[in-house]
Amino acid sequence: PAPLPRPRADTLAVFRAAARGLEGKAFCGIDVGGTDIKAVLVVDGRVVEYKEYDWFPAKFTRSAQLVDPILLIARLLRARLWIHRLAGPAGRTATFLATIESALDKDAPDSLMEQALADLEQAGLPEAGGFDGIGLCFPDEVVRNKIVGGEVYKTRGIRTNPDIDYEADFAALTHVDERLAPLVTPAGRVKIVNDGPMASFTAAVEIAVSDDSGDVA
């Protein structure tokens, strides 16, 4: 049989575009899983910081227990962004980094993360704007940046809690995009998507970019 003709259009262009034009921009990526959260700070297209957070949300009884750690991690990486952009004496930067370092550890409790943010504020860490974008992957149904499912294993403890109105309580998770919005710049965006299609898109970007340069950063 005759080979199929190759399309004239560059079918990988959209994926290559996702890895371009990142200079001068800062992004926070958060992948929410059933046993841990993984988060990354990317500045100018390069990874600056990585944070892993162990948890077991199936035992939670209120949606706030799901939302609060996500917000805390995002705030911590925003503070790390401010340190990254800090101009001035290297010693001052080193002092701020020493303050935040323990909070970035995988096993750091929420109280230590909160204390590090309070210490940085008290020490006068200058604010240097917010993220240009926050991307959040969540293993549930997501429609227009809203988490609307609620039937996954992760929310089992909340669903079975007899002391709350589940639908009303779940709204805290549905509108987590609005809680994250103050952490981005005025022109920035918060985008939430199911983790399955995001994994496929990420793989496509990696393949497309590696075809160009062999460098998947």
Nearest to 154 by CA among 52, 30, 39, 55: 55
pTM of the prediction?
0.91
Cβ contacts of 22 within 8 Å, gap of 6 or more: 42, 44, 45
Residues 142 and 194 sit within 8 Å (Cβ to Cβ): yes
Among 134, 169, 153, smallest CA distance to 63 is for: 169
Q: Is 11's pLDDT higher than 90? A: no
Q: How does pLDDT run across 14-45, given as a tens digit for each residue?
A: 998 988 899 999 999 999 999 999 999 999 99
Q: Is 150 left (phi over 0), alpha (psi -120 to 50) or beta?
A: left
Q: What is the pLDDT of residues 42-86, one digit of tens each?
A: 999 999 999 999 999 999 999 999 999 999 999 999 999 999 999
pLDDT in tens, 101-114: 999 999 999 999 99
pLDDT at 208: 87
